[in-house]
Amino acid sequence: MSRSAHPAGPRHADVLPEGHYSAPPTDLNALDPKVWARTVRRDERGVATVGGLGVDALAEEFGTPAYFLDETDFRARCRAWAEAFGKDADVFYAGKAFLSRAIVRWLKEEGLNLDVCSGGELSTALSAGMPAERIAFHGNNKSEDEIRRAVEAGVGRIVLDSFQEIVRVAHIAQSLGKRQRVQIRVTVGVEAHTHEFIATAHEDQKFGIALAGGQAAEAVRRALTLDGLELIGIHSHIGSQIFDMAGFEVSARRVVQLLAEVRDEHGVELPEIDLGGGLGIAYTSEDDPREPHEIAKALSEIVTRECEAAGLRTPRISVEPGRAIVGPTAFTLYRVGTVKPLEGLRTYVSVDGGMSDNIRTALYDAEYSVSLVSRTSEAEPMLSRVVGKHCESGDIVVRDAFLPSDLAPGDLIAVPATGAYCRSMASNYNHALRPPVVAVSDGEARVIVRRETEEDLLRLDVG
C-alpha cells in the first residue's frame, strides 16, 4: 500500500521526513476495531482491555513483551469461516501462521481442519487430539521420516510438491501397506499480493509443479499409475495478504482447465480443488479485508462457473486461511524503554522486544499500527518509529506511526494484528527469550505458550 507524507508536521519536526505514513489519526486514543481483536476496548481509566482484563494488570502478571490472544475472537473467526464455506467445502487453518496445542483444540471444537507443514506441526496437532483425517500435510521438502509419520498417522491428505515426492510418498505408503490420499500442488503462473496480481508464464520459485509446459499434467499421469497413491485433487496457493479476488479467478480457471484435461485423457474427474490461503487482514486502518462469507461466495461462484464451462462436476473446494483467522486476534504488548527524538526526523521509541518477536517488518517491510494502551493522552501526535532492543539497525517493529508526544519510559504500547507469523517466526537473536502467548477470554487469562527462560537457552547449549 502506498501512503504519502502528511502535510502537517509532528511536534518536533519542521520538515517532514520521507516515510510511509498518512495523516495522524484524529483521535490517537481510538482503538480501531478493524485492526484490534474483537473484545479490545478502553476502560473508564483509559486503559486498554482485552476479554475484560486491563493491559496494566496483564503486564504485571505476565510481563512484557507478550502476545495476548483473544480466544473469543479466534473462535468466532473459525466459526465464521466454517459457516461461510458450509458443509460442501473444507476450511483448513494454516498452522504455520501460529500453532499451539490450545489452538488445535479450539480448531477441533469449532469444526476446522488443519494444514501442517513440518514434523513439529504434525506432532503438535496429533498430540492435541486433532483427528489425523482432518490434517493436510504440506511442504516442498518433507523428509522420509516426516512422510512416514504422516502416512502412519493416517493424515487426510499429503500435498505433493515435486516429481521426486510423488515417488517417495507412493513408495512409503506402499511399504506400509497403505494407499495415501494426495493432492498435487501446482503453480498456475499467478503471483498475487495485496491489490495486485501478476500472471506469469514461467515459474521461478521452489513450490509446486508448473502447469506451464505440461508438467502438472505429467505429474497427474504419474500419480495415477502408482498403487500407493489415491489422487483426490489439485492444490494451488497464489500468495499472501490478498484483498482482490482476481488472482483467485485466474488460478481457479487454470486449475479447472487441468481437471478437464485429466478427464479427457484419463476419464477421471478429480473430486477436490484447494485454492490455498493468503487472504488479507487489516494491519492498519487503511486496509479493507473481505469477510469470509464474501470470499466463500466469490470462490464458489468462480469454480462453479469455470466447471460448468468445462462440462465438469463442481469439485469440493477447500481453502487454507492462516493469517485471516489468527492474525487479527492478537496484539503484542511492549513496555517503552528509551524515547529518543531526532530533530527534524522522528522519535525513536525503543521497546523491550523487537525483531525477535516480530520479524515481518524487517523481512517484508510490513506495515503495522501501534497505540499507547496503558493510558490515554491528549498530547500532540508525534511521528514515531517503534524499534526493538536488538543489535541491528533494521530492528524495526513499526516503521512510521503517530504516538502521543508525552510518551515516556514505562508506558505500555501495543501493536495489533500480530497473531500470525510473529510468534511462529520468533527467534532467539541476541539470546532474546521468546515471549509467551496468553489467551484471554471472559475475564480470564491463561498462558498457552510460556515465556522462554535463560534455563531454556542454556539447556540447548551443551557446552
The grid cell for 20 is: 510511509
Cβ proximity to ligand PLP: between 123 and 364 the closer is 364
Across 246-326, the runs of DSSP E, i.e. the strands, are 272-274, 316-319
Q: Is 78 in the site for ligand PLP (CB under 6 A)?
A: no
Give the whole-angstrom CA distance, residue 169 versus residue 173. 6
Considering only residues 50, 82, 94, 372, which one is a binding residue for ligand PLP as defined by CB under 6 A?
94
Binding mask 248-287 for ligand PLP (x = CB under 6 A): ----------------------------xxxx--------
Q: Is 193 in the site for ligand PLP (CB under 6 A)?
A: no
Q: Is 236 in the site for ligand PLP (CB under 6 A)?
A: no
Quick one: which segment of 127-135, 301-309, 320-328, 351-359 binds ligand PLP (CB under 6 A)?
Answer: 320-328
289 cis-preceded (ω within 30 degrees of 0): no
**Minimum CB distance to ligand PLP, residue 253 (Å):** 19
**Minimum CB distance to ligand PLP, residue 277 (Å):** 3
**Minimum CB distance to ligand PLP, residue 27 (Å):** 31
Give the whole-angstrom CA distance, residue 211 versus residue 186. 6
Q: Is 353 in the site for ligand PLP (CB under 6 A)?
A: no
Q: Is 360 in the site for ligand PLP (CB under 6 A)?
A: no
Total residues at the site for ligand PLP (CB under 6 A)? 17
Residue 114, CA atoms < 13 Å, CB-side half-sphere: 33
Determine contact, residues 178/172, Cβ cutoff 8 Å.
no
Cβ proximity to ligand PLP: between 56 and 287 the closer is 287
For strands 412-416 and 330-341, give the pairing. Answer: antiparallel
Catalytic residue, candidates 78, 117, 307, 391: 391
**Range 112-151, binding ligand PLP (CB under 6 A):** 115, 138
How many angstroms separate the Cα of 258 from the Cα of each of 1, 210, 307? 34, 11, 11
**Range 95-114, binding ligand PLP (CB under 6 A):** 96-97
**Minimum CB distance to ligand PLP, residue 115 (Å):** 6
Instruction: Kindly give, in sequence order, each residue whose CB lies less than 8 Å from that of residue 309, ignoring residues fewer than 6 positions away.
Output: none
**Range 406-435, binding ligand PLP (CB under 6 A):** 420
DSSP code for 422: S
DSSP code for 344: T
Give the whole-angstrom CA distance, residue 112 versus residue 42. 32
Q: Is 184 in the site for ligand PLP (CB under 6 A)?
A: no
Q: Is 328 in the site for ligand PLP (CB under 6 A)?
A: no
Q: Is 320 in the site for ligand PLP (CB under 6 A)?
A: yes
DSSP code for 57: H
Considering only residues 65, 95, 228, 322, which one is a binding residue for ligand PLP as defined by CB under 6 A?
322
Give the whole-angstrom CA distance, residue 125 versus residue 113. 10
Determine contact, residues 198/246, Cβ cutoff 8 Å.
no
For strands 209-210 and 330-341, give the pairing. Answer: unpaired
Q: Is 234 in the site for ligand PLP (CB under 6 A)?
A: no
**Minimum CB distance to ligand PLP, residue 185 (Å):** 7
Instruction: Kindly give, in sequence order, each residue whose CB lies less than 8 Å from that of residue 194, ignoring residues fewer than 6 positions away.
Output: 1, 241, 242, 243, 244, 280
Is 391 in the active site?
yes
Active site members: 391
| Contacts to ligand PLP by CB under 6 A | 94, 96-97, 115, 138, 237, 240, 276-279, 320-324, 420
